[in-house]
Chains A and B, each alone.
Chain A
Amino acid sequence: MTRPASTTTELVAGPLLPTGAVSRRPSSLSRLRRHRLAAVGGLGLLLLALMALIAPLLTPHQFDQMDLDSMRQPPTWRHPFGTDDLGRDLFTRVIYGARISLGTGLCSAAIATLVGTTIGAVAGYFGGWTDNLSMRLVDLMLSIPLLPIVIVISAVMKPTVPVLVLVIGLFGWMVTARLVRSSFLVLKAQDFTLAAQVIGAPPGRIIVCHLLPNAVAPIVVAATLSVGSAIILESILSFLGMGVQPPTPSWGNMLQDAQSTMATKPWMAIFPGLFIFISVMCVNFLGDGLRDALDPRLRV
């Protein structure tokens, strides 16, 4: 994302909604805070990813190593997170679970965000028939139920994890598209857009360099939320046989397994839930940081 060459556009480039130069820039203290949070988020995600990759080095047990004599044990030194219904070490499973859950969550959120942003931007900027068609496509996709699709797919082909990621991604872009489009509808009516058009900037450049940075805020929120919901959705779908098959752990399906014993043995649900929570938080902080980095206001 290069800086716009002309200062005119910079001065007039406003935030997401009605124009106005920023009269009160966020103080340096809060800027530092944001940086720190973004750094924490990024670091957190990196650590989680690293943890997922080097899982075999970190874990004393196998994720499918059963011990039928110590099922559903609370946390102990040998099993820091306790054991599950088949005596498998939960710590190990949570770490291996990151591979599936984090991977699925991030990839499908990325797909959804990319597809949604592209379609929404094009629809919002060009308007007319492009807008009409795109939004009707959105309506169509919103009307098609996910569940039957999943069942059909799992019958027709082997429902593996990449298929799962694709499905979740392709059924999650619609909200982002509508958000981006509505932002662009507002931004299109601004003077700075007109100015950029007048000086002959091509639509692509306008969209990417001028409009998109201002529309980032709701995209970030949508992306964060879709990471969390993708992880949960993955568990619901694996409940139907699509995606991760037992004994491969994922945070979502560990939560599913913990359903019947939630009241009496809460650790089986708490740890995977905690990791989902942490992942979502990290993505959000990172996203906030990204928004601030892209926000033209803060550069002047």
Chain B
Amino acid sequence: MPTDRAFETSLERAKEFLGLRRMNRRDLIRFVGGTSGLAVLNVYISACTGQPPAAAAPTSAPPTSAAVPPTPAVATQATAGQPVTGGVLTIGYDAEPDSLNAYTTRLFASTESGIHEGLIVTNDKMEYVPNHAEAVPTLENGGVQLNPMRVTYELRPDLKWSDGQPLTSEDVKFTWQAIVNPNFKRGGFNFGEGYDLIEKVDTPDPRTAILTFKGNYAAYNGMFRALLPKHVLDGKDINTDPFNRVPVSNGPMRVKEWISGQYSQMERNPFYRVAGRPYLDGLTMKFLTATNTRINQLQTGEVQYINQVPWDRMEEIAQFPGVAIQSLVVNSWEHLDFNFRNPTLQDLAVRQAFAMGIDKKSIAEKVLQGKVPVADNVVTPLSWAHNPNVTKWEYNVEKARQTLENAGWKAGSGGVREKGGQRLSFDCVTYAGDALRERVQQVIQAQMREVGIELRIQNYPPNTFFEQVNDGKFDIKIHRWISSAEPGFASFFASDRMPPRGLNNVFWDNAEISKVFDEADREVDQNKRKELLFRAQDILARELPTIPLFYRPNVIATTAKLKNVRMNPTNDGDMWAVADWYLER
């Protein structure tokens, strides 16, 4: 075989170039082997002086506080053992807060719930418990009076801010004034219409605040989830004050520093209202937006707590040594909605076909690995307003087909049913980029095909999604709503709450339910309100403007050494009781 001289000479040239001309092959191998051996040795040495391997603790049964079955991989959290004071917990959080001021943050987040405390908080059983207030004011205990509606909050004695200054009812009044100040650019989730309904706040003594409302407002206990310090913010522009970054707070932790894009550090608030708490010396919160990275950091031990664990990784993470998983169904439900502006969807038979054609159990068990409870109702079972007796639509493909046949929808081309020139073919939208949601959407698409309905998928990034939806540019949408402990689903279904006035972006105009909602919003008596809300849920299950799919659990994974973490199903966040957390030795 003719040798190609070009090769030989180019090899020579290459060797020259590297200054290796005099080396023959054997020497070359030794040289390369030697240097790489040294390199490996070097790395190994520095690795040995690096982090010690995570101590292998016995894998405890993963705990949970889910009140709703089924969640097979979880069990009740053990709170046995004596709390130990000390230790800093490192948390891997999925998003960086935009502000640590509860009234300017736009996120549904809970990072600030470990820093700020309000008058009332909702506990893990969705009950109102007093924080800075001494008791929860109700009609029964006289804290609430009607005509006009007045709510009296008594503060606990000797409350202080994290800078040592006393916390008084003046701060409550100041908080209200700051929020309703027309120059204040309101943030987000933590306020409702309630503040605008307050006519005045009286402070007869430093421990008493009396709120007078203009009308009846049922959700008064949902307000004042955080307080703003008058002595710090009076006269300042709250929108841009550094308070939003490093606030003076009144919760168990106070902020030490916040390094943008990386982490924030919190330390024990020495002036916290409960002596001896918090047990933890501090919290370090790392912002790790990539899910895989959060999980990897938990695995290496670089963090000891991660949030937003995807449901399809729960089993895998539960296998990590020394790690415990907690899952809690929150006030959030995933649903499939119809656009009533599309005349085809105004046909009840079509909506019923959807209800019977979607195999929710199969989706929950297989696609979501059994980690989510199926929903038949927009109100979660955790809420006091949950009606357990609504009409349930069982998965039944035959019945779905029958219903359509009877309504005149006959099989047409491509297996898609049609009637009078209209085809059961719809645009189905959801958030792009959400893997689990996209999978659910595709399974539903396949299931509906069995019934004779065609879904064309078109997904959008979150910002665009809501714009499109509120403009009515969809037929079917799949997403979630979150609500607070107050079952306020009127904004989603009342006739007068269509965008831009509200969130009724199914564009459903139902006089019956709108009337019920109207009465319920003004009914302060819990029992009467419950009755009304039950009726509303019955109507929803009958008319099917929406098909609830499943309730969404929040899942966290922590080191098994972290005890006493009680997750919160409402927007009060998982850190509502961070004062009680402790790290075992």
**A241:B459 contact, CB within 8 angstroms:** yes
Alpha-carbon gap, A151 to B468, bound state (A): 12
Decide if B346 is an interface residue (CB 8 Å cutoff). no
**B432:A86 contact, CB within 8 angstroms:** no
Distance of A160 from chain B, by nearest CB (Å): 10
Chain B minimum-CB-distance residue to A253: B438
**A260:B4 contact, CB within 8 angstroms:** no
Decide if A142 is an interface residue (CB 8 Å cutoff). no
Q: Mark A3-34, 1 if CB is under 8 A from B, else 0.
A: 00000000000000000000010110110000
Alpha-carbon gap, A71 to B463, bound state (A): 32
- CB within 8 A of A264: which of B316, B433, B441, B468? B316
Which residues from B are CB-within-8-Å of A239? 432-433
Q: Mark A257-295, 1 if CB is under 8 A from B, else 0.
A: 101101010000000000000000000000000000000
**B367:A68 contact, CB within 8 angstroms:** yes
Alpha-carbon gap, A151 to B459, bound state (A): 12
Given contacts A68-B443, A257-B435, A260-B435, contact A245 B457 (CB under 8 A): yes
User: How many of chain A's residues touch chain B, expressed as a range?
Assistant: 20 to 34
Decide if A247 is an interface residue (CB 8 Å cutoff). yes
Decide if A155 is an interface residue (CB 8 Å cutoff). yes
- CB within 8 A of A86: which of B2, B443, B463, B468? B443
Alpha-carbon gap, A185 to B457, bound state (A): 49
Given contacts A68-B443, A247-B442, contact A155 B460 (CB under 8 A): yes
Decide if B461 is an interface residue (CB 8 Å cutoff). yes
Which residues from B are CB-within-8-Å of A240? 432-433, 461
Which residues from B are CB-within-8-Å of A257? 435
Alpha-carbon gap, A27 to B4, bound state (A): 8
Alpha-carbon gap, A247 to B456, bound state (A): 10
Decide if B458 is an interface residue (CB 8 Å cutoff). yes
Decide if B260 is an interface residue (CB 8 Å cutoff). no
**B433:A259 contact, CB within 8 angstroms:** no
Judged by DSSP, the binding face of A is: loop
In B450-500, which residues have CB < 8 Å from any A CB? Answer: 456-461, 463-464, 467-468
Chain B minimum-CB-distance residue to A72: B312
Alpha-carbon gap, A27 to B457, bound state (A): 57
In A114-160, which residues have CB < 8 Å from any B CB? Answer: 151, 154-155, 158
**B441:A246 contact, CB within 8 angstroms:** yes
Given contacts A68-B443, A154-B464, A241-B432, contact A260 B291 (CB under 8 A): yes
Decide if B514 is an interface residue (CB 8 Å cutoff). no
Alpha-carbon gap, A86 to B366, bound state (A): 9
Decide if B445 is an interface residue (CB 8 Å cutoff). yes
**A86:B367 contact, CB within 8 angstroms:** yes
**A29:B292 contact, CB within 8 angstroms:** no
Decide if B6 is an interface residue (CB 8 Å cutoff). yes
Which residues from A are CB-within-8-Å of B2? 29
In B267-324, which residues have CB < 8 Å from any A CB? Answer: 291-292, 310, 312-313, 316
Q: Mark B1-20, 1 if CB is under 8 A from A, else 0.
A: 01011100000000000000
Distance of A29 from chain B, by nearest CB (Å): 5
**B443:A241 contact, CB within 8 angstroms:** no
In B368-425, which residues have CB < 8 Å from any A CB? Answer: none
Distance of B189 from chain A, by nearest CB (Å): 24
Alpha-carbon gap, A93 to B5, bound state (A): 47
**A85:B439 contact, CB within 8 angstroms:** yes
Alpha-carbon gap, A158 to B441, bound state (A): 19
Given contacts A68-B443, A241-B433, A260-B292, contact A155 B458 (CB under 8 A): no
**B313:A260 contact, CB within 8 angstroms:** yes
Which residues from B are CB-within-8-Å of A64? 442, 446
Decide if B362 is an interface residue (CB 8 Å cutoff). yes
**A29:B4 contact, CB within 8 angstroms:** yes
Chain B minimum-CB-distance residue to A69: B366
Distance of B321 from chain A, by nearest CB (Å): 16
Which residues from A are CB-within-8-Å of B433? 239-241
Distance of A45 from chain B, by nearest CB (Å): 28
Which residues from B are CB-within-8-Å of A68? 362, 366-367, 443
Alpha-carbon gap, A158 to B457, bound state (A): 11
Alpha-carbon gap, A29 to B2, bound state (A): 9
Number of interface residues, chain B, beta carbon within 8 A: 33
**A246:B438 contact, CB within 8 angstroms:** yes
Distance of A62 from chain B, by nearest CB (Å): 10
In A135-191, which residues have CB < 8 Å from any B CB? Answer: 151, 154-155, 158
Which residues from B are CB-within-8-Å of A196? none
Chain B minimum-CB-distance residue to A88: B442
Alpha-carbon gap, A246 to B362, bound state (A): 20
Which residues from A are CB-within-8-Å of B442? 64, 66, 86, 246-247
Alpha-carbon gap, A26 to B6, bound state (A): 8
Distance of A125 from chain B, by nearest CB (Å): 35
Which residues from B are CB-within-8-Å of A27? 4-6
Alpha-carbon gap, A151 to B460, bound state (A): 8
Distance of A243 from chain B, by nearest CB (Å): 10
Which residues from B are CB-within-8-Å of A86? 367, 439, 442-443
Which residues from A are CB-within-8-Å of B316? 264
Chain B minimum-CB-distance residue to A236: B433
Alpha-carbon gap, A241 to B467, bound state (A): 14
- CB within 8 A of A151: which of B5, B362, B463? B463
Alpha-carbon gap, A27 to B7, bound state (A): 10
In A50-94, which residues have CB < 8 Å from any B CB? Answer: 64, 66, 68-69, 71, 85-86
Alpha-carbon gap, A1 to B366, bound state (A): 59
Distance of B465 from chain A, by nearest CB (Å): 8
Chain A minimum-CB-distance residue to B432: A241
Alpha-carbon gap, A264 to B299, bound state (A): 14
**B443:A66 contact, CB within 8 angstroms:** yes
Alpha-carbon gap, A68 to B369, bound state (A): 11
Which residues from A are CB-within-8-Å of B457? 245-247
Alpha-carbon gap, A74 to B316, bound state (A): 17
Distance of B431 from chain A, by nearest CB (Å): 8
Which residues from B are CB-within-8-Å of A24? 6
Alpha-carbon gap, A24 to B468, bound state (A): 65
In A82-117, which residues have CB < 8 Å from any B CB? Answer: 85-86
Alpha-carbon gap, A245 to B291, bound state (A): 23
Alpha-carbon gap, A257 to B458, bound state (A): 17
Which residues from B are CB-within-8-Å of A155? 460, 464, 467-468
Alpha-carbon gap, A64 to B443, bound state (A): 10
**A245:B362 contact, CB within 8 angstroms:** no
Distance of B4 from chain A, by nearest CB (Å): 5
- CB within 8 A of B464: which of A26, A69, A241, A246? A241
Interface residues of A (CB under 8 A from B): 24, 26-27, 29-30, 64, 66, 68-69, 71, 85-86, 151, 154-155, 158, 238-241, 245-247, 257, 259-260, 262, 264
Write 24 A-B pairs (CB below 8 A) sorted by A numbering.
A29-B2, A30-B4, A68-B443, A86-B367, A86-B439, A86-B442, A154-B464, A155-B460, A158-B458, A240-B461, A241-B458, A241-B459, A245-B457, A245-B458, A246-B438, A246-B441, A247-B442, A257-B435, A259-B292, A259-B435, A260-B291, A260-B292, A260-B310, A264-B316
Closest 6 CB pairs of A and B: A241-B432, A68-B366, A241-B459, A241-B460, A245-B457, A155-B464
Beyond A259-B292, A260-B312: 17 further Cβ-contacts under 8 Å?
A29-B4, A64-B446, A66-B443, A68-B443, A69-B366, A151-B461, A238-B432, A240-B432, A241-B458, A241-B460, A245-B457, A246-B438, A246-B457, A246-B459, A247-B445, A257-B435, A262-B292
